[in-house]
Chains A and B, each alone.
Chain A
Amino acid sequence: MSWAESPRTHALPDGRLRLTHGPIDLVIAAAGSTKAVASALSRGRAAFQTILHDLAGELPRLRSAQGADPKGEIAQNMLAATAHFKPQFITPMASVAGAVADHILRAMLTPNHGPNHGLSRVIANNGGDIACWQSTGEMILAICEDPARRSAGARATIPAASGIHGIATSGWRGRSHSMGIADAVTVLAPCAATADAAATLIANAVDLPGNPAITRVPAHVLSPDSDLGPRLVTTDVGPLTDPESETALAAGHALAQDYITRGLVHAVCLAVNGHRIAAGSAIQLKEPAHA
């Protein structure tokens, strides 16, 4: 079988590589000695070549909440990352973007990677779900919940030894469907797959069930293949009052706190309709510029 599109690589002018294949759109970057950076990027690219093909082969299993264990390495990591959150309804697909980012990050890092091996920082950004590693210092992450207006958002500070290697964001405005009304839920976790799954579930929990301002459509009407099947997903959110926004945020915040207490994730930032709330210590809230 042949497809019109195969994995493609574009070198960006700033030295990063963009890897695309079907729905995967990754930007990978590394810092360190020229030689170490070049070989890290080339390892990342090599690891990318077969990813979509392997995942596509197990899609029916990955789109369902139960079944036989999948075979592929990424598929198994997706299963493991989502298993933490059962018995809530979740399929391995909730962590696919993060699991791919984790896989590329692992490929880019050498055994005993670090300054002695020429690398100081490696980032695999899979359409906003990010796997990252750095040897020293701290990484500052700007969280923007409103790309259309580009207003300033919260900020996360991630020290090298924090154990945070995954960042993922979910919301109803994003590329995948959400059952909630969060504009963006950003999760900092030990790996991107876990962050991805947690962000999906917390974003689902940011909700106002029965509120008439929210338009919902069965997921399979929008995407016949969706792992969410006939479950209702949000397609529009009308004007909300401030108390409504806060009620929705509180529901998500409670779940975020639960995940933090259970040690599943490190920190969470939630935003609805210009309101923002954080859980965990790594995130500093700033007032939205347009408030």
Chain B
Amino acid sequence: MTSTKRTQRPEKIRCDACPVMCYIADGRAGACDRYANQGGALVRLDPLTILENKPQADLVPFLDREWEGELLTGDDMFVTAVGSGTTYPDYKPAPFIVASTVQGADMITVVTEGIFSYCGAKVKIDTDRHVGDECAAVRAEGEVIGHVTISEYGSQMLSLGGVHHLTGGSKKEGRVTCATLLALCNGEEVTLDIDGGAEMQISAGAAPVINGQREERMRVGCGSATVGMFAAQWKGLVDEVVVVDDHITGVMSEHQAGKVIGWEPSGIRIKGRRSTPGRYFQVAQPGTGWGGTDLTDPLTILDTWKPAQARPGLSLLMVSTTGEHAAYYELDQDLTPVQKDMPARLLPSVQRIEENCEPALASVLFMAGAGGSLRSGVTENPVGLTRSVQSALTRVTVGGAPVMMWPGGGITFMADVTQMPKNAFGYVPTPALVAPIEFTMRAADYAALGGHMDHVVPLSEALKGMTGPQNDHRLAGRRSEASKTLWPLQPKALK
């Protein structure tokens, strides 16, 4: 009789994902229910976000549907770094190095979640309203997290975050900066206060709220442009038009556009610095009144009329660049403008200005530099990655969204946060943001730049939750989202 072999007790493993350091028995999960022991391997049960190349993918929640092993190519599926985890500090290869075939070409995508100390948000706010002086501090919860930067056509611009506010100031400044960036990048609304300026509620892809008022429209153009656009339409309906604008206020009868189509001089005189005929700078202070100025009564920008050209009864339309403010006047016997009801003949033109304004939005670009050790997770020769990105052999995406790559040294990029999957961003208490980042290139190019070829896994296996040997944390779930942008794996766009 042989002795009965003792059944071997399943091995228990110690999870090092968090300070609890659970011992986990085989087939069981730790206290968090998010890390499990599967046959002695530590498995992370969080969903990895997969982009599907169709207009509307059902969001597949974690483990709602097991992978059924459909044959898929990179034409259909792209593994994003959202939920991939990280191998920071990158002494070993990135968590996922995925091989796929796209239109017959062998492609490699290196997927990781980067920890970005050098990062921030560039915010564009479509409004004429003066939100604050250039360089004015932008605050959240009382802490300075950035500043107002040079305005763009029809928009105010903010530059938020950056390494100085994240790690160069007080602990609270860093924490608040990180929290505000995280919220902005994940599409949440944040409240920002500008020193000497406005209080705003901003969220990416939504109309900004400035001093409690939701912005509806951005201006159709500057005052001068508006005069040009509507010169012919107003001809014969009114004797003079002034388009009030914080940047350039336009005067029809003096403006080149008015002159060419035969507007008569009206004798009007504008207070303000004349740039070229019919174009005036600095008619008032910036503000939240008419056309982004502080004006509540537009007549205050008019000087006395020239008696030689002006006449009693002369009609005057004053309008802002969004059509939001408009008033109609006629000169009395003393050549003083008197406000009258807006005549019906002028209403359509004012309305047309409004109709030609685009909806005001706040947009948020995440900007960061992927330098340092993150690159060694991709290749044994970090500068090779930098050069490959600079020469467009390697495409960088952030959660599958395209990036604008800065020329010059390093891998410094900007990406529209609304193009990324939901809640793509996280943070670490450093403080720094955690953002998904993927590097895609031809397999041959990856090998040539010293890529970790022995850590590559095929797409189908990555989707099953398998990884290369570098990853302690096997992912067992996935979540699909429809791609909102151009498909990240397009070999043609690569050199």
Contacts and interface: CB of A to CB of B under 8 A. Distances in A.
Contacts of A53: 19
B303 interface: no
Contact of A49 (B20, B85, B183, B429): B429
A225 interface: yes
B114 to A, nearest CB: 15
Given A9-B427, A222-B28, A45 B179 contact: yes
B395 interface: no
B426 A8 contact: yes
Contacts of B191: 34, 38
Interface string B417-450: 0000001001111000000000000000000000
A42 B179 contact: yes
Contact of A39 (B141, B472, B473): B141
A148 interface: no
B18 A9 contact: no
B23 interface: yes
Contacts of A115: none
Given A56-B19, A223-B31, A11 B25 contact: no
Q: Is the interface of B mostly helix, strand, loop or mixed?
A: loop
B175 A3 contact: no
Given A39-B141, A46-B175, A3 B31 contact: no
B121 to A, nearest CB: 15
A21 interface: yes
Interface string B6-26: 000000100011111111110
A243 interface: no
B20 A59 contact: yes
Interface in B427-486: 427-429, 472-473
B186 A10 contact: yes
Contacts of A39: 141
A52 interface: yes
B17 A5 contact: yes
Interface residues of A, number: 32
B1 interface: no
A211 interface: no
B19 A11 contact: no
Contacts of B12: 224
Interface centre among B20, B28, B86, B426 (most CB of A within 10 A): B20
Given A11-B188, A175-B33, A22 B473 contact: no
Contact of B141 (A7, A21, A38, A52): A38
B20 A8 contact: no
B371 interface: no
Contacts of B33: 23, 175
B423 A21 contact: no
A247 interface: no
A3 B429 contact: no
Interface in A2-19: 3-11, 13
A122 B16 CA distance: 33
B112 to A, nearest CB: 13
Interface centre among A5, A10, A46, A224 (most CB of B within 10 A): A5
Nearest to A56: B19
A45 B31 CA distance: 21
A38 B16 CA distance: 33
B82 interface: no
A232 B472 CA distance: 32
Contacts of A175: 33
Nearest to B472: A4
Nearest to B184: A11
Interface string A46-87: 100100110011010000000000000000000000000000
A38 B33 CA distance: 30
Contact of A221 (B20, B25, B86, B175): B25
Given A3-B16, A22-B32, A225-B23, A9 B182 contact: yes
Nearest to A222: B28
Interface in B242-280: none
A46 B23 CA distance: 29
Given A9-B427, A10-B423, A34-B191, A224 B18 contact: no
A209 B486 CA distance: 62
Interface string B177-201: 0010011001010010000000000
Contacts of B18: 3-5, 21-23, 52, 56
A22 B20 contact: yes
Interface string A212-233: 0000000001111100000000
A10 B12 CA distance: 32
B426 A223 contact: no
A52 B182 CA distance: 22
B30 interface: yes
Given A22-B17, A46-B175, 13 more contacts: A11-B183, A11-B186, A13-B188, A21-B18, A23-B32, A45-B179, A52-B18, A56-B18, A56-B21, A223-B24, A223-B31, A224-B12, A225-B22
19 contacts: A3-B16, A3-B17, A4-B17, A4-B472, A6-B428, A9-B179, A11-B186, A21-B18, A22-B17, A22-B20, A23-B30, A23-B32, A42-B141, A56-B19, A56-B20, A221-B25, A222-B25, A223-B31, A225-B23
Interface of A: 3-11, 13, 21-23, 25, 34, 38-39, 42, 45-46, 49, 52-53, 56-57, 59, 175, 221-225
Which 8 pairs, one residue from A and one from B, show the smallest C-beta to C-beta distance? A22-B18, A56-B19, A224-B23, A23-B31, A23-B32, A11-B188, A4-B17, A5-B18
